[in-house]
């Protein structure tokens, strides 16, 4: 029997969004043909044999989604003007051209007097995409009507408004398992005939990596984080390492960014790693030093290249050194190494090992161009 629903209905339940390129959080680039990695060493470290088998095939999420999310900065204090101004700012700053094309908010009839359809038309006119927020429960986390047991009706309305993205939360879920609550909205969205990116916000509590790939285009890995070093390093929410092929969603006020923030968000070389068409997730290869706080992350890219991140979680500066065979490269062949933050090629002849001095709580990111003579074992 369908649960009764408050007649507050939909204009109260939504969170609006703007985005362009989408992914699947824990396994991007799924439906495209995965080109084989060039060596046995790389194939062992970065296995892609299961890519595409456990993911939703709705034509979206070939690379990680990029965009803006209103929640971190504005929470519920948003309105139609904020969204329109942010859409303008994404375009005027050039961030939209770099791929930041989805943005998200919480609408209300008083603060969105023109309605969601009119706002969607405005956003689409900027070359951006619009997303909303709802909940796989009877209420949202802000105690507004959720979509549980009303998936078909709500999905149809979302589609009629021209929505491109749905973030689907986990509050007031009546104790029903996520594996039972989230698929109905997937099916409802698909039945509308409109491509709508489906982002599961299940909080990572019920092992979504084991089942969410076939349900949504991306899924939440942890609960909320706060702006403390300990909390950020223990679990990622909206911004994971770029090398990990996670979504890049801006959470600040785009209209009032510092120069430093803009330089970080607009680094084309770093974004290209995140959006690489090969779509193979980077991974933590090793941790050294006290409690493994000197970390090496790496992942293969298209064009026989390898992205490498040296990350210092320690409480003092560290010289992080990596032996090239440990990241899947041949120890006797030369490699070209490019620093993605300095935007310069450091060397054309790195052989055997590579290292760099990394400041406290800092990271450095490189691309190694694989030599033609890489060993096959």
CATH code of residue 335? 2.60.40.1180
Instruction: Report yes or no on 2 lying in a domain.
Output: no
Last residue of a domain, which of 245, 274, 303? 274
Q: Are residues 293 and 183 in the same domain?
A: no
Instruction: Report yes or no on 15 lying in a domain.
Output: yes
pLDDT tens, the chain, 377 aa long: 444 444 333 333 334 455 543 333 333 333 444 566 777 888 888 877 776 666 777 878 778 888 888 888 888 788 889 999 999 999 999 999 998 876 544 456 788 889 899 999 999 999 999 999 999 999 998 888 899 999 999 999 999 999 999 999 999 999 999 999 999 999 999 999 999 999 999 998 899 988 999 999 998 877 766 666 565 554 444 334 455 578 888 989 999 999 999 999 999 999 999 999 888 888 999 999 888 999 999 999 998 899 999 999 999 999 999 999 999 999 999 999 999 999 999 998 999 999 999 999 999 999 999 655 444 44
Q: Is 94 exposed, middle or buried (0-12, 13-18, 19+ CB in 10 A)?
A: exposed
Total domains, the chain: 2
Q: Are residues 20 and 71 in the same domain?
A: yes
Cα 169 → chain centroid: 16
**Distance between CA atoms of 318 and 142, rounded to whole angstroms?**
44
Q: Are 164 and 131 in contact (CB under 8 A)?
A: yes
Cβ count near 191 (within 10 Å): 13
**Distance between CA atoms of 191 and 198, rounded to whole angstroms?**
13
The dihedral sign for the CA sequence 144, 145, 146, 148: positive
Instruction: Report yes or no on 259 lying in a domain.
Output: yes
DSSP 3-state assignment of 116?
Answer: helix
Q: Give me the domain span that covers residue 266.
A: 10-274
Q: Are residues 256 and 141 in the same domain?
A: yes
Q: Are residues 328 and 183 in the same domain?
A: no
Q: Are residues 107 and 214 in the same domain?
A: yes
Last residue of a domain, which of 274, 299, 334? 274
User: What is the CATH number for 97?
Assistant: 3.20.20.70
Instruction: Report yes or no on 185 lying in a domain.
Output: yes
Q: Are residues 84 and 154 in the same domain?
A: yes
Instruction: Report yes or no on 374 lying in a domain.
Output: no
DSSP 3-state assignment of 309?
Answer: strand
Q: Are residues 336 and 360 in the same domain?
A: yes
**Distance between CA atoms of 74 and 88, rounded to whole angstroms?**
17
Q: Are residues 332 and 184 in the same domain?
A: no
Instruction: Report yes or no on 4 lying in a domain.
Output: no
Q: Is 189 left (phi over 0), alpha (psi -120 to 50) or beta?
A: alpha
The pLDDT of residue 65:
86
Instruction: Report yes or no on 320 lying in a domain.
Output: yes
Q: Are residues 301 and 328 in the same domain?
A: yes
Instruction: Report yes or no on 375 lying in a domain.
Output: no
Supply the pTM of this predicted model. Answer: 0.76
Q: Cα-flanking dihedrals φ and ψ of residue 150, to 5°?
A: -130, 30
Last residue of a domain, which of 226, 247, 274? 274
Positions annotated as catalytic residues are: 169, 224
> Given the structure tokens 């296995």, which residue do they identify?
47
Q: Are residues 125 and 255 in the same domain?
A: yes
The pLDDT of residue 279:
83
Q: Are 90 and 96 in contact (CB under 8 A)?
A: yes
Q: Are residues 356 and 236 in the same domain?
A: no
From the list 18, 164, 213, the residue with the least C-alpha distance to 104 is 18
Q: Are residues 267 and 316 in the same domain?
A: no
The pLDDT of residue 375:
46
């Amino acid at each position: 029997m369908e649960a009764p629903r408050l007649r507050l209905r939909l204009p109260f339940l939504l969170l609006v969004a703007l985005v362009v390129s989408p992914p699947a959080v824990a396994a991007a680039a799924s439906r495209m043909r995965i080109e084989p990695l060039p060596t046995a060493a790389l194939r062992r470290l970065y296995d892609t044999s299961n890519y595409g088998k456990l993911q939703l095939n709705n034509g979206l999420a070939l690379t990680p989604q990029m965009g803006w999310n209103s929640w971190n900065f504005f929470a519920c204090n948003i309105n139609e003007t904020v969204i329109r101004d942010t859409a303008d700012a994404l375009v005027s700053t050039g961030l939209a051209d770099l791929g930041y094309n989805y943005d998200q908010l919480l609408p209300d009839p008083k603060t969105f007097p023109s309605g969601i359809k009119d706002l969607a038309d405005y956003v689409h006119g900027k070359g951006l995409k619009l997303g909303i927020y709802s909940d796989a429960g009877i209420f949202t986390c802000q105690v507004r009507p959720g979509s549980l047991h009303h998936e078909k009706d709500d999905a149809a309305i979302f589609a009629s408004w021209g929505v491109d993205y749905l973030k689907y939360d986990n509050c007031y879920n009546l104790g029903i398992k996520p594996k039972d609550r989230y698929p109905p909205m997937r099916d409802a969205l698909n039945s509308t005939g409109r491509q709508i990116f489906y982002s599961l916000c299940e909080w990572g509590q019920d092992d979504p990596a084991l089942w969410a790939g076939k349900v949504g285009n991306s899924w939440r890995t942890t609960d909320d984080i706060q702006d403390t070093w300990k909390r950020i390093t223990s679990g990622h929410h909206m911004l994971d390492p770029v090398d990990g092929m996670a979504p890049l969603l801006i959470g600040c006020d785009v209209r009032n960014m510092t120069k430093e923030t803009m330089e970080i968000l607009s680094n084309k070389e770093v974004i290209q790693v995140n959006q690489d068409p090969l779509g193979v997730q980077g991974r933590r290869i090793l941790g050294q030093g006290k409690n493994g706080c000197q970390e090496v992350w790496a992942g293969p890219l298209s064009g026989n290249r390898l992205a490498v991140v040296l990350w210092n979680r320690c409480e003092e500066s560290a010289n992080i050194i990596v032996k090239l065979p440990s990241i899947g490269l041949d120890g006797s062949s030369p490699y070209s190494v490019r620093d993605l933050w300095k935007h310069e090629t450091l060397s054309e002849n790195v052989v055997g090992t590579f290292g760099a001095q990394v400041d406290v709580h800092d990271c450095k990111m490189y691309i190694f161009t694989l030599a033609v003579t890489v060993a096959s074992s």
